[in-house]
């Protein structure tokens, strides 16, 4: 997961800027790695719980549920950034994108960056879910969100997802009980 996050940071430092092929490649690779790692973790927890826990379906697979929710939540932000970058969904004034002449002919004031064919794509927003329109050209380093919706996705989905993962892994491995048992053995003089 750390490798996937580092690849995203690496992509933002690429000199070509947002919308370049290398940035899109790294965003796609980050999503692929995150999906693979998180859903393999869900499989691990599922089989671990199936082998070691007894009781009702919920009693056996509660950690699997926590880990599955974690896998979904932690992949929301990378997937949205991949979608935003792949379809160049960053609404900005035409002047910011240096498209004043084309926009004046079309009678629009705001657009998404055009695709390879040069067609304008009119919009009415400000930037995208994560960043305001000043980030649409790729000239600024977009490491942290600048919009409230971006922070909500970052905090609730990504960070919340890692909290769910922590709970699911602790329940599946019973690590908290093992640590307490070991601590008591050390304190009582038994090693």
Span 170-186, average pLDDT: 91
pTM of the predicted model as reported, rounded to 2 decimal places: 0.79
Domain locations along the chain = 38-88+129-187, 91-126
> Which of 9-13, 139-143, 151-155 has the highest average model confidence (pLDDT)?
151-155
Given a cut of 80, whether residue 97 has pLDDT beyond it is yes
pLDDT score of 138: 80
pLDDT over threshold 50, residue 99: yes
Lowest mean pLDDT among 10-19, 88-97, 125-134, 170-179: 10-19
- When mean pLDDT is compared across 31-40, 82-91, 156-165, the lowest value belongs to 82-91
pLDDT confidence bin for 145, thresholds 50/70/90? very high
Alpha helices in the chain (DSSP H): 2-12, 21-52, 57-74, 76-86, 100-106, 148-152, 160-173, 175-187
For residue 122, give Cα distances in angstroms to 11, 52, 82, 100, 135.
27, 56, 21, 13, 17
CA distances from 68 to 50, 74, 77 (A): 15, 10, 16
Given this model, what pLDDT does residue 117 score?
Answer: 81
User: What pLDDT, on a 0 to 100 scale, did the predictor assign at position 61?
Assistant: 96
Mean pLDDT of the chain, nearest integer: 87
Examine the pLDDT at 105 and tell me if it is beyond 80: yes
Angle at 89 between CA 88 and CA 91, to 5 degrees: 115
Whether the predicted pLDDT of 5 surpasses 70: no
Q: What is the pLDDT of residues 27-80, one digit of tens each?
A: 889 999 999 999 999 999 999 999 999 999 999 999 999 999 999 999 999 999
């Amino acid at each position: 997961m750390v490798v996937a996050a580092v690849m995203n940071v690496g992509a933002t430092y690429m000199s070509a800027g947002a919308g370049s092929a290398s940035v899109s490649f790294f965003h796609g690779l980050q999503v692929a790695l995150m999906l693979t790692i998180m859903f393999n973790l869900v499989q691990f927890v599922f089989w671990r719980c199936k082998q070691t826990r007894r009781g009702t379906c919920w009693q056996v697979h509660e950690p699997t549920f926590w880990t599955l929710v974690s896998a979904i939540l932690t992949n929301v932000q990378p997937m949205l950034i991949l979608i935003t970058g792949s379809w160049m969904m960053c609404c900005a004034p035409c002047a910011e994108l240096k498209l004043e002449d084309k926009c004046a002919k079309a009678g629009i004031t705001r657009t998404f960056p055009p695709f390879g064919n040069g067609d304008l794509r009119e919009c009415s927003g400000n930037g995208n879910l994560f960043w305001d329109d000043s980030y649409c050209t790729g000239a600024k380093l977009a490491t942290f969100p600048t919009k409230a919706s971006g922070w909500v996705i970052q905090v609730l989905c990504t960070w919340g997802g890692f909290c769910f993962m922590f709970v699911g892994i602790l329940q599946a491995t019973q690590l908290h009980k093992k640590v307490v048992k070991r601590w008591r053995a050390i304190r009582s003089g038994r090693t």
